[in-house]
Structure 1
């Protein structure tokens, strides 16, 4: 009886070890397959996000070589670096938010107690800026022409302004 009990116990232990070994070896291959599938999925998502980013930046001074050539012509004595121009123009436009009546280039008169200020700016090319503005209650977008003068100042002109409904 004691021998058969020991034999059964030995068989159970061997079976447990075999099942444990099989479980852990299959788990490792399962995790490798799972991680490979996740990696492939994330690579596709990154490629898709990158393609969307390229499409979104189609209208931007950073990617538009024709607009960049406007500031860097081959026969000019004085050129402007586009990497420095975009923050410079953006800063000059945002500085006008300090005006007590609001930014004068939003194209809208003050409606309530708050003034309209520009929140976000995107330099589209060598001539156009699109900007988002709001007063906390109303918001809109404006298309602005900008010119870089010979004395390295920037002049702005509101082309079109749009105020969204409340």
Structure 2
């Protein structure tokens, strides 16, 4: 009776080990396939977002070599680095928000009690800037020309400005 009990227990242990090995092997294979599908999906998403970001930055000084080369005049004393130019132009334009009548380069006069100030600035190339402005109720956009003067100061010129209809 003891021999048959040990025989049954041994057979049961072997069957348990085989089924456990089979289950864990298929579980590992399933997890590997799931990992592969997930990483493929994530890579595709990253590639799609990278492409969209490149498309969105197509009109920007950071990506436009022709506009960057405009500031490299060939003479070593008159080279302007666009990496430093973009924050300087943006800061100068945003500093004009402190004007009591609003930023003069929104292209709009004060309509209500609030003044128009520039919120966001994007330097498109060596000559153009697009900016978003608002007074808290009314929003608009402006296309500006900018110039780097000989003393490395900036001057701006409003080319076109528009206001969006007020949302109720």
What is the TM-score when the length of structure 2 is the normalising length?
0.89
Q: Deviations for 1:40-71, whole angstroms, at most 9, x for unmatched residues?
A: 11112111111111111111111111111211
- 1:15 Cα shift? 3.0
User: Are 1:143 and 2:143 counterparts?
Assistant: yes
Aligned partner of 2:121 in structure 1 is 121
Aligned partner of 1:30 in structure 2 is 30
Say which SS state the counterpart of residue 160 (structure 2) adopts.
strand
What is the TM-score when the length of structure 1 is the normalising length?
0.90
- 1:80 Cα shift? 0.7
Cα distance in 1, alignment partners of residues 77 and 12 from structure 2: 90
Aligned partner of 1:63 in structure 2 is 63
Say which SS state the counterpart of residue 104 (structure 2) adopts.
coil
For structure 2, the 5+ residue unaligned runs are none
Cα distance in 2, alignment partners of residues 107 and 58 from structure 1: 26
- 1:120 Cα shift? 0.7
Cα distance in 1, alignment partners of residues 92 and 162 from structure 2: 21
Alignment of 1:71-150 (within 5 A): 71-75=71-75, 77-150=77-150
Say which SS state the counterpart of residue 111 (structure 1) adopts.
coil
Cα distance in 1, alignment partners of residues 131 and 80 from structure 2: 22
- 1:14 Cα shift? 3.6
- 1:109 Cα shift? 1.7
For structure 1, the 5+ residue unaligned runs are none
Cα distance in 2, alignment partners of residues 87 and 135 from structure 1: 23
Say which SS state the counterpart of residue 58 (structure 1) adopts.
coil
Say which SS state the counterpart of residue 114 (structure 1) adopts.
coil
Say which SS state the counterpart of residue 162 (structure 1) adopts.
strand
- 1:7 Cα shift? 5.6
Aligned length: 166
- 1:122 Cα shift? 0.3
